[in-house]
Amino acid sequence: MKYRPEIDSLRAVSVGSVVLYHSRYVVDGARIAQGGYLGVDIFFVISGFLITRLIALELDSGQFSIKTFYERRARRILPALTCVLLAAAMVAPVLLSPAALREFSGSILSSILFYSNFFFLFEDSYTAEISQLKPLLHTWSLSVEEQFYLLFPLLMICLAGVSLNVRMWLLFSLALASLMLAQYLSGRHFDANFFLPVTRAWELLLGSLLALVPGGRLAVSGAFARYMPSVGLLMILGAIATFTDNTAHPSLLTLLPVLGAVFIIGFANPKDPAIKLLSSRAFVAVGLISYSLYLWHFPIFAYLRVWNDGISDPVLVSFGIVTSVLLAWATWRWVEQPFRRAKVFSVRRFAVIVGTPLAGLCLVGALLLNRSIDESYDAIPPEFMASFKTYERPEAQAPRCVDQDNFLEIESWCKMGAGTSAVSFLLIGDSHADALAATLHAAALRDGKAGLLIARSGCPLLSDLEPRRGEPLSGQCLQLAARVLEFVRANEIPKVIFSSRWNYYVCGEPKEDCGYTQNIRHPGQEWANSRQERIDILGAALDTTVSMYNDAGARISFVAQVPHQRYDPKQVFNEHFRHGGDVLRLSAVSAEAHQAFTGEVKARLTHTANLSERVSLHDPADVLCEPQGICSFGDPSSSYYSDDDHLSVGASKVLMNWAAALLN
């Protein structure tokens, strides 16, 4: 197959956009390449084109062999991947917390066995801030490719005896079905849509369709065809510049960069300005090392973030990029190139040299996975571990009080306080309400009051507010909010307390670019496109909620967001019990940083609280934070947090009087 330099250069554009996206580089408050994740979609098109072209040529000449095909794939993928996995595994015990190390072990196994897309599907969202700390998150795309190529060669063999038109119509039908499924899931199951091979197959198949065109080029004459590569490049760059983490993807919108890649490959000609640019030595050079660069950049960024609590510093970002490029070049030169040559490394020699470390990594990963997370925090006394827990329902039916399947039924709502008393208050909201429940339960029990906890993750349960959770979750948020209001009206509940991670719906993380933010809208309207739009939508929903609940006869109390700590409390207390010193104070977020992060949203909560005498605002930071000091993790006898932003049962003792005032 004839070498085409513009394809390597297109790889350079793809990997460059991905690296910039994951660097989270910010200039004048704006992220560079905020849609850079689309580089992976372009990679899929290139892969589908090249692999299908090779299979088709070998089938036509009678030389295709499944054994040879997978040997080539192994030589292409495994040597560089093995190097990166070994390097990442050596650094992990030094920088990662025990819990993160255990998760890393699972990601090692899933990367080697090519199911990491499914592994990460059941972890945090791809765009979540915490996901940027997972060194092997990016291997999901390799898994999608290899899952596709498990079946695709067999399909091509089955279609070898049919006409070209039939083959192309069948592949087109499969691509269309995959795209329609992606479009359907894009507004319903964001993470599944992102990670599943069936919703990514259309991108690979469009490359395959182009490969089956005679000559691998679209034969359209005239000026239209001559400048289509430039149009394609503009489509790609435009998408990279305008897509965001909240863009429905993959979906029909993703056709913009995907067709851009098809236009560049299919209409490539030496007269087009884009092809001239893409054929330059610099682009080709980056394209040649693109696979190794893709492998190296993410663990480097992840470890820099863990080591430095983020890498917003431009110097550190630049260091990460330069280091990635240097390691990529070295890997391409001394690993990728030699291992592709059967004359240098026979199949048996290749299997031993590459297979042995991979088998060792699998063994280590399996052993680490078999360990308990709590046992990993070996310095923390067993009796102290209980303080990390959150509220558990007193009844025996189910231990959890959040995200029950029968969430609309009163039986699924958790009782708090004195069980024999009439319900005098509700605590409702997202997982932060669930985290506050232990404290309110203790205060209510002491004062002889009874209440109900109604919580659902990612659902602030405000009237006229829909969080972008995908279906069925977004619809469930709206259903539960309506059900609670109906319950308050029917039962004349005198007090309703709203507690949520309010900043999550405006600016999700205490970072310059806000990290992952749960988008919101008024039901039936457009999703917010900016931080200011989100604060306006949240504010309007707060005001509407107050009006509707006051009309129902209830008094409203809002709980301001708890201080968002910088570290995992288990990790901090493990260091405290192991080394002593001032680690608790040094690790805690400062009161100033907390106020700077939450001030905008708290001001909007304050505005709503001032609308009526029947509305109040209560801030746990008044107790947890020193005015000019830190917001405490806990004390030597208990943690106040279960993770970096959720309170635990340990907070009850210091917040008891504050909670009693909240209930009154």
Task: Report pLDDT digits (tens) over 52-93.
Answer: 999 999 998 889 999 999 999 999 999 999 999 999 999 998
Nearest 5°: the CA angle 444, 448, 453 is: 35
CA torsion through residues 263, 268, 269, 275, sign: positive
Least reliable range by pLDDT among 15-24, 186-195, 249-258, 388-397: 388-397
Closest CA to 261 of 232, 287, 283, 220: 232
Confidence of residue 622 (pLDDT cuts 50, 70, 90): very high
C-alpha distances out from residue 647 to 361, 404, 452, Å? 36, 20, 18
Residues 571, 31: Cα–Cα separation, whole Å: 31
Query: Is the predicted pLDDT of residue 375 greater than 90, yes or no?
Result: no
pLDDT digits (tens, 9 = 90+) for 509-531: 776 657 667 789 999 898 888 88
Q: What is the pLDDT of residue 398?
A: 47
Residues 616, 550: Cα–Cα separation, whole Å: 12
CATH 3.40.50.1110 in the chain is located at: 393-564+591-631+647-663
* Fold of domain 393-564+591-631+647-663: Rossmann fold (3.40.50)
- As to burial, measured by CB atoms within 10 angstroms (0-12 exposed, 13-18 middle, 19+ buried), residue 374 is middle
| Of 245 and 439, the one with more pLDDT | 439
Query: Is the predicted pLDDT of residue 31 greater than 90, yes or no?
Result: no
pLDDT digits (tens, 9 = 90+) for 94-111: 888 766 787 899 999 999
Least reliable range by pLDDT among 79-88, 307-316, 344-353, 647-656: 307-316
* Tokens 């236009």 belong to residue: 263
Query: Is the predicted pLDDT of residue 369 greater than 80, yes or no?
Result: no
pLDDT digits (tens, 9 = 90+) for 225-235: 788 999 999 99
By percentage, how much of the chain surpasses pLDDT 90? 62
**CB 652, CB 660: distance < 8 Å:** no
As given in the structure block, the two tokens for residue 138 are 């990016």
C-alpha distances out from residue 407 to 163, 337, 421, 445, Å? 54, 56, 23, 24
Confidence of residue 372 (pLDDT cuts 50, 70, 90): very low
Amino acid identity at 60: D
Q: What is the pLDDT of residue 168?
A: 95
Amino acid identity at 540: A
Q: At what angle do helices 591-609 and 531-551 cross, to 10 degrees?
A: 50
Q: What is the pLDDT of residue 374?
A: 45
Confidence of residue 397 (pLDDT cuts 50, 70, 90): very low
As given in the structure block, the two tokens for residue 576 are 């405290």
Residues 128, 32: Cα–Cα separation, whole Å: 18
* Tokens 């990963």 belong to residue: 365
* Tokens 């106040």 belong to residue: 640
Residues 648, 237: Cα–Cα separation, whole Å: 46
pTM above 0.85, yes or no: no
pLDDT digits (tens, 9 = 90+) for 122-162: 876 677 666 788 999 999 999 999 999 999 999 999 998 89
Closest CA to 452 of 433, 476, 475, 465: 433
Query: Is the predicted pLDDT of residue 376 greater than 70, yes or no?
Result: no
- As to burial, measured by CB atoms within 10 angstroms (0-12 exposed, 13-18 middle, 19+ buried), residue 595 is middle
Identify the helix (H) or strand (E) that includes residue 498. strand 495-499
- As to burial, measured by CB atoms within 10 angstroms (0-12 exposed, 13-18 middle, 19+ buried), residue 599 is exposed
Q: What is the pLDDT of residue 221?
A: 66
Least reliable range by pLDDT among 16-20, 399-403, 636-640: 399-403
Residues 500, 586: Cα–Cα separation, whole Å: 27
Q: What is the pLDDT of residue 295?
A: 98
Mean pLDDT across 195-199: 97
Residues with Cβ < 8 Å from 131, sequence gap 6 or more? 120, 123, 124, 125, 137, 516
Residues 277, 396: Cα–Cα separation, whole Å: 68
